[in-house]
Structure 1
Amino acid sequence: MTVKQLTITMPNQPGQLASVSEMLGDAGVNVLGLFVSTSTSSGDGIMRFVVDNPEKGVNVLTGQGLDVKQEDVVAAETPHHAGGLLAVLNPLKRAQVNVDYIYPCIQTGEATILILGVGDQTKEAIECLKKDWIRLYGSELYNM
């Protein structure tokens, strides 16, 4: 059970994030979760994000000349309280699953849905989180 993450690189310049947001917004594509870093080895920025319509998001961005990478990531629910993140991190630790990055996606009252990038350990991450009764999301996330 995974969701699609889109990743683009862009120049680290003022207005780049606004431009991407405008492209997606004008097309009616909603960004559900977002991770941005401007400290890459090439000096460019990297934007990782989950949208409510990945196929349309890819089409919009590639239509504007951007190179978009798509990959499966894990969307896991964690309690929204002090120490709640451990509900997700401890099972991954026990299973020796390395978390490359993590960012919040949607908060639903007393819980937060996190996006987990775990590289080629996606299957292992899903298995260990399910064993610990962590709620995982697939395509239903796109309709929240």
Structure 2
Amino acid sequence: MKVKQISVFLENKSGRLAAVTRVLGEEDINIRALSIADTSDFGILRLIVNQPEKAYRALKDHGFTVSMTDVIAVEMPDQPGGLAEVMAVMEEHNLNIEYLYAFIGKVPNGALVIFRVENIDEALKILEEKGITVLSGEKVYSL
């Protein structure tokens, strides 16, 4: 139930993000979710796309510094406290979250949160045992 995430290191200068999106568009790769963390000099663009291996190769071939990592996609109710319930499970089991980002509108009456955790296999096991819906990569890529 792991999802492949593409991370792109970008210099913080005009046109770099446009270049990434242009490459993906030319390769017919659809962005499902994204997040940007930046400093004054550089940024890290994190992407969930419908074809992660193809995106990785295309960006690498165009000279971008790119990596692929495993993340978890958790479906939860889009209502007050929905995220708090998942966070409580993670806290109870000492699952350290490195970062997360979310998107809504693609899951009926729900939200989807992407988590990067230290121990992904342990997190998957615990979340599933607690009845929390974890989506497969294939499901997320097709949203």
Same fold (TM over 0.5): yes
Aligned partners of 1:78 and 1:85 also within 8 Å: yes
Alignment-derived partner of residue 102 in structure 1: 100
Q: Does 1:90 align with 2:88?
A: yes
Structure 2 residue matching 1:85: 3-state secondary structure: helix
Provide TM-score, normalisation by structure 1: 0.91
Aligned partners of 1:32 and 1:106 also within 8 Å: no
Q: 1:39: Cα distance to partner?
A: 2.2
Question: Which residue type is aligned with residue 71 of structure 1?
Answer: T
Structure-to-structure mapping, 1:1-144, within 5 angstroms: 1-39=1-39, 43-107=41-105, 108-119=107-118, 121-138=119-136, 139-144=138-143
Q: 1:25: Cα distance to partner?
A: 1.2
Q: Share of identical aligned residues, percent?
A: 30
Q: Aligned pairs, how many?
A: 141
Aligned partners of 1:101 and 1:117 also within 8 Å: yes
Provide TM-score, normalisation by structure 2: 0.92
Q: More deviation in 9-18 or 69-78?
A: 9-18
- The Cα offsets for residues 88-131 of structure 1, whole Å up to 9 and x where unpaired, read as 21111111001111111453231111110113x10121112112
Structure 1 gap ranges (5+): none
Higher fraction of strand = 2
Aligned partners of 1:118 and 1:125 also within 8 Å: yes
Question: Which residue type is aligned with residue 102 of structure 2?
Answer: P
Rounded to whole Å, the distance in 1 between the matches of 2:103 and 2:3 is: 11
Rounded to whole Å, the distance in 1 between the matches of 2:142 and 2:104 is: 11
Shift of the 18–45 alpha-carbon distance from structure 1 to 2, 3 Å rule, reads same
Aligned partners of 1:6 and 1:68 also within 8 Å: yes
Q: Where in structure 1 do 4 or more consecutive aligned residues deviate above 2 Å?
A: none
Structure 2 residue matching 1:117: 3-state secondary structure: strand
Aligned partners of 1:35 and 1:47 also within 8 Å: yes
Rounded to whole Å, the distance in 1 between the matches of 2:50 and 2:104 is: 12
